Amino acid sequence: MTPSCVSTIHVFCSCHMNRKCRILFVMIVFVPFFLFVTVYYNWPVFHVFINQDIMSPCVLPQFDFYDSSIANFFWKPDPVKCEPWDALMLIDSEGMLQFNSSAVKASGYDDLKCVYKKVVRVGDFNVTFTEETVFKKPVYIPHDIIYVQCKQNDKLVYDNLHFHIDYKSILQQKHLGTENQDELSIYMFGLDSLSHLLAERKMPLTMNYLRDNLGAYILNGYTKVGDNSHPNLVALYTGTTGGSELPGVNIDTMPFVWKNFSVKGYVDMYCEDWPSIGTFTNFTGPPANHYFRPFFLAAEKIRTQSIRNVRRLLLFLEHHNFRLKDVSFLCFGNTPKHQLVIDYYKRFIESYGNKKKIAVSFLNEIGHDFLNFYEHGDRDTMELFKWMKASKKLDNGVIVLYADHGPRYSEIQNTGIGRVTSMMPTLAIYIPKQIRNRFPHLHANLMKNIERLTTPFDVHETLMDILNKNFQVQKPVDIHKSVPRGISLFREIPESRSCNQAGIPEHYCPCYSSKYIDIKDPVVKEVSLYIVNKINHILEHDFHRCAKLTLKTTHRASLVKSNFVRDKAVEEWSLRTFVYTSSEDRRYLIALDTFPSNGKFEATVQYNGKSDMKLLGDISRINKYGNQSSCIPDIRDRLKLYCFCIK
């Protein structure tokens, strides 16, 4: 027996079973045990699954973004609170450092003496500051990142970092081409761990603006090809898996896509916002003409950061709307960090006017650990895209809104919906209207590809097509030959594409498989009637002009099933390992005809019993309706798919 146990027992016995002593003993022995059990019971459980069939043609999963099974994972976090002060200095749109006259006046300071220093990159993990220069009058500083300090009566009253885009130095070093109808600028804006589901739930302003105002293509089948950020962004940025596919290549010689554009007269920018977990680090020199990492390194130097685990704990509490600090860790000074990235991104676009440019940013911190924080960046991201449209930056510019994967540190991935959507990151792409008008086949292919299995390899091929001005009609992919791993989104992705063909390993394949079943199966009849009832529900306020539909015949039925099985060998153990159970989805894909319209419709329904069915996605019309819906005004075009006018 250990000395500590002997000592504890001795204390207990010497008390002669005194009541207070017994209570003390219970507290010493059982309270730590209870805390240990509680912590380990509540430790997050992350189940790992593999798809047993990655060779079959992919049936994309369909799901309800607002399904009740995931409701408990979403709530509204309190607004981000940053330090409540105004910057006493600013850098204007011409790159001139000067006093912010309104803030200085409001501060009451009447004898400010300021100095500035350049923030100099020292490798990829440190920065230093140049000798200070006394600020006397507005000045252009040939450097992106500036450290400013101001004193009033020898007391430090202002201590802040400023940035701009030192375009003058780049224009002296490099000849830049000019945008035109064929040579397009590229605006890549990425967010860590943002699944398509999370984007629709937590960034609806951004997604709706892209979809409804810009006509962007939002890919429902976009799928990750690796576990974490690195393999997915390597695939996107280089078109490879790295490693053995790039022998002898290090971080400095990696063929990042912006380098391809740079060679052809583009100015480039690369930005991530969380130095400690940056996806690509250890560059010898800056990887692009403008590189924002030194800003955040300097920020950590002048504002001491908590160690990562403490910071994560405080953000966990903030995520649950319980704050121990007045100022959020999502801020630097008086500004949210994501807004700093957006401001730098915007400055880059503004500074180079109509010169060809490629901007690549990736927001790590805002949603990496806590999924409800994404909404803090929703309006700011939408406003960036609105500004780009209003200032005509999109006339000859492409937007790629992208993510690396879905959430990896949330128990939402243990739900049926969360498990699949964690494999399916956000991907939205905007193509200028003038390109769509000149090359209508591109629009047609992109519309088809919205519902096809796609990957980061495909996005890379698309970027290369843009770089090479390859907008003409291309040969269709021959599915009877070896299907390429990466296929440009400007071509039609084969409907029969499998995860194996797309380069998606079994752990990350979200696809379902299907098999035809007898249309005389009683369940098929039940599901078919359910679909017709759903159509009539859409029409119910218009029965005065639209016929009530009935089922004429079911002409095709498929059982759609997932092929996921737990891979317990790679899971971490938890006392709650057995709490989460996975059940097999029963989904039916039904094609049917209705009377009196002879309309042909197709829909997928999740079936848990006659009284428990759920429509997944929309009910698609698969034949033309002609003049059948002429009584419906054009503004209600969705209703035209279903209405059979009776007058």
In sequence order, the 6+-apart residues with CB closer than 8 A to the CB of 135 are 89, 97, 114, 115, 116, 148
Q: What is the pLDDT of residue 236?
A: 99
Q: For residue range 439-475, list pLDDT tens digits in order.
A: 999 999 999 999 999 999 999 999 999 999 999 999 9
The mean per-residue pLDDT over the stretch 514-542 comes to 94
Q: Note the pLDDT of residue 452.
A: 97
Tokens of 394: 């999109």
Mean of pLDDT values over 633-641: 82
Is the pTM higher than 0.85? The answer reads no
More confident residue, 29 or 245: 245
User: 310 pLDDT band (50/70/90 cuts)?
Assistant: confident
Q: Can you give the pLDDT at residue 272?
A: 96
> Which one of 2.60.40.10, 3.40.50.2020, 3.10.450.10, 2.60.120.620 gives the CATH number of domain 513-640?
3.10.450.10
Residue 45: per-residue pLDDT? 57
Q: Write the CATH number of the domain with boundaries 170-433.
A: 3.40.720.10
- Per-residue confidence (pLDDT) for residue 18, from 0 to 100: 66
Average pLDDT over residues 313-335: 89
pLDDT band at residue 281, thresholds of 50, 70 and 90? very high
Mark out the alpha helices in 264-364 (DSSP H runs).
293-302, 308-319, 337-351
Q: What is the mean pLDDT of residues 494-505?
A: 94
Instruction: Please check the confidence at residue 247 and state whether its pLDDT lies above 50.
Output: yes
**pLDDT bucket at 411, cuts 50 / 70 / 90:** confident
DSSP string, 112-123: EEEEEEEEEEET
Pairwise CA distance, residues 5 & 151, whole Å: 61
pLDDT digits (tens, 9 = 90+) for 79-133: 999 999 999 999 999 999 999 999 999 999 999 999 999 999 999 999 999 999 9
What is the per-residue pLDDT for 9? Answer: 47
| DSSP type of residue 493 | P
Q: Residue 12: pLDDT band by 50, 70, 90 thresholds?
A: very low
Domain range summary for the chain, segments of one domain joined by +: 3-42, 170-433, 513-640
* pLDDT given for residue 561 in this prediction: 78
Share of residues in the chain with pLDDT > 90 (%): 70
**Residues 6 or more apart in contact with residue 551 via CB below 8 angstroms:** 528, 529, 532, 592, 593, 594, 595
- Residue 178 CA to residue 348 CA, distance in Å, equals 15
Q: What mean pLDDT do residues 552-566 have?
A: 83
pLDDT at 36 exceeding the cut of 80: no
**DSSP secondary structure of 139-164:** EE-SSSEEEEEEEETTEEEEEEEEE-
Q: Indicate the residue type of 529.
A: L
Among the residue ranges 114-123, 150-159, 175-184, 308-317, the one predicted with the least confidence is: 308-317
Is pLDDT at 76 greater than 50 in this prediction? yes
**Is the pLDDT score of 153 beyond 50?**
yes
Q: What is the pLDDT of residue 315?
A: 87
pLDDT, the chain, mean: 90
Q: Check residue 210 and report its DSSP letter.
A: I
pLDDT-derived band at 7, boundaries 50, 70, 90: low
Q: Say yes or no to pLDDT of 50 above 60.
A: yes
CB atoms within 10 A of CB 514: 18
Of 309 and 335, which is predicted with more confidence?
A: 335
Written as one string, the DSSP assignment of 372-409 is GGGGGGHHHHHHHHHHHHHTTTTTTEEEEEEES-S-SS
Reported as a pLDDT band with limits 50, 70 and 90, residue 562 is confident
